[in-house]
Structure 1
Amino acid sequence: MNKWTLFKKASRFGVIPVMLIPIVLGSVGAYVWEGTFHPFLFGITFIGGAAAHLFSNMVNDLWDFRNGTDVEAERTPDIVTTNSGFLSRGVLSERTFAALTWSLLAVAVLCGALLSVYSGSEILWFVAAGALIAYFYVAPPLRFGYRGMGYSEAAIFAAFGLMPVLGSYFVQTGQFSMKPVLLSLPVGLLTTLLLFNHHFLHWKADQQAGKRTLVVVWGERKALVFSRILLYLSYASLVVCVLLDVLPFYALLALLTAIPPVHVYRGLQQHNASPAYLPLMGASLQASVRCGAIMAAALLVQAFI
């Protein structure tokens, strides 16, 4: 494969919209509520956010490989692996993979440094927090993604909801507000749902490797109940945003994006084979991206009318 295809596969480039949509939301919110939009700063934020997300994907693979989790996943029959497979299958050397991983972090830090010059040094707290969350999600000594006490879910919500929405809003306005915090709830919770649901694909391998995700701790049946609750909370927060005038009423059209995952849940049993969760993953990804896109479009419509 060519280098670009290799990079996309190694970094799992296809899921990058779950980071870019929150950045768009925060920037659109700044334009609608404060009347300010700086294309250059938006572009730098966009590039930095993309690099940070891809770094998160790759450092996760790097340490899951070092911790033996991905190797165990390859050995466990009848499960679906979610890592890129570039390390566990020997496609790339660990040294090459690590160099590419840290290069992405360097791009994200450089973008953060540029933004701090134009928007304020406070943005560096977002850069530092994002880097630490991404690294210690799987790296020792913290490895909070392995601890199964809700730490990883809280981290995902912060990294893919609160921080990109509030951070991109700050970049544009130079100030903080409760509105972007509330705006981050639906997409942040839906992305948390997406990351939670992906554990169903390989929870038995995680159990063997000592990775105590909530699916491992609670078991499949209870984790499925929580998954549904998280979906309902996500869309309830959308309604709250409308009621508090953060979003216009026609943003409620985003509720329609809940239909595909609800349909998938109805086809699942209390215990399912690993591949049965692939449609749930696809529906969760679509719900997160489409809901966020409709929210951003609704805000733009509000601005122009």
Structure 2
Amino acid sequence: MPLNTWLLAIRPKTLPLAVASILLGGASAGAVQPGVLALALLTALLLQIVSNLANDYGDGLRGTDGPGRTGPVRVLAAGHVTPAQLRCALVQVVLLALASGLALLTWALGNDIAAWLGFLLLGALSVLAALGYTLGRRPYGYLGLGDAAVFVFFGPVAVLGTGWLMRPELTATGGWAALVAGLLAMAVLNINNIRDLKGDAQAGKRTLALRLGLYRARAWQGAVLALALLAAERLMTGWGYLALAGLWPLAQGFRLVLTQQGEALNRALALTAKGTLVLTAGLALGLVAG
């Protein structure tokens, strides 16, 4: 695929969510290992790209991304690629994610067979979750389960998993960090689904936002952000107060959610992803600085 098409397909504005989860996970361990952190970041980014490509492919085949959608261009629905080309790209990125994940486990776990088995299971579930959102006979994204999956995989799996690879123990700090990352990832997905309410209803994609309806989905957005900030407050200390810089883009994104619909929410999504990265980077800095 041409570079511009590839960039459209991987959805760069959503990638800060993967970075946020890994940064918080590494920092919450209290002993950052640069090699493990770098491979964890690469693996998480590749898995999110897998999810984005699979979403484009699955929604494109089902006609969900029709001509009336208000979100960014989707490469299959727009005719920029054929199904075979997108499927090939998806397979290639899955293989890269698997290779990166195996390198990460080799670096971090050595010969610990029990840990290998546990993380191989988590890795397999992560790949299946990335693919299963819009692919398969009963994609869970069409059943309103996407928000729960996003919370689990961007929160406990990514944050606690990264922390464990740095230091094999579970802590309260890691638990609060997992809540922050998981809830903020849910907030981004909820904006996406509020924006796409009309198209999803026509395509039979029963997201949580669609099940709630516009006004309750907006209220749910406020509740999720409030819970994320309450969890973040438990991690703020010293340099961690720099995380407050993330409140402005988060607030601006929420204002748009409350007052706008359709295409205007593309900016709300970008602001919320930016705020997530700034807030979590500040928290991570505070945790590392001690």
- Matched with 1:105 is 94
User: Which of 108, 123, 126 is the aligned partner of 1:130?
Assistant: 126
Say if 1:87 and 1:93, in contact at 8 Å, map to a contact too.
yes
Could you tell me how far apart the structure 1 residues matched to 2:270 and 2:199 are?
21
For structure 1, the 5+ residue unaligned runs are none
Could you tell me how far apart the structure 2 residues matched to 1:289 and 1:172 are?
21
CA RMSD of aligned residues (A): 2.2
Cα displacement (A) at 1:53: 1.0
Could you tell me how far apart the structure 2 residues matched to 1:264 and 1:101 are?
31
Could you tell me how far apart the structure 2 residues matched to 1:168 and 1:292 are?
15
- Matched with 1:144 is 140
- Matched with 1:194 is 188
Indicate yes or no: 2:3 matched with 1:13.
Answer: no
Say if 2:21 and 2:154, in contact at 8 Å, map to a contact too.
yes
- Partner of 2:65: helix, strand, or coil? helix
- Matched with 2:60 is 65
Could you tell me how far apart the structure 2 residues matched to 1:66 and 1:268 are?
29
Say if 1:80 and 1:202, in contact at 8 Å, map to a contact too.
yes
Report the TM-score, using the length of structure 1 for normalisation: 0.84
- Matched with 1:94 is 83
For structure 2, the 5+ residue unaligned runs are 110-114
Label 1:263 to 1:61 Cα distance change in 2 as closer, same or farther (>3 A).
closer
Could you tell me how far apart the structure 2 residues matched to 1:4 and 1:188 are?
31
Say if 2:246 and 2:275, in contact at 8 Å, map to a contact too.
yes
Cα displacement (A) at 1:115: 2.9
Indicate yes or no: 2:288 matched with 1:300.
Answer: yes
- Matched with 1:22 is 21
Label 1:176 to 1:125 Cα distance change in 2 as closer, same or farther (>3 A).
farther
* Amino acid aligned to 2:142: Y
- Matched with 2:265 is 277
Label 1:43 to 1:268 Cα distance change in 2 as closer, same or farther (>3 A).
closer
Moved >6 Å (runs of 4+): none
Indicate yes or no: 2:31 matched with 1:43.
Answer: no
- Partner of 1:70: helix, strand, or coil? coil
User: Which of 49, 52, 57 is the aligned partner of 1:54?
Assistant: 49
Say if 1:190 and 1:231, in contact at 8 Å, map to a contact too.
yes
- CA-to-aligned-CA distance 1:233-290 (integer Å, 9 cap, x gap): 1101112x33xxxx525524424423333345446667x4413323322321122111
Percent of pairs with identical residues:
23
Q: Higher mean Cα deviation, 226-235 or 123-132?
A: 123-132
Cα displacement (A) at 1:90: 1.2
Say if 2:180 and 2:231, in contact at 8 Å, map to a contact too.
yes
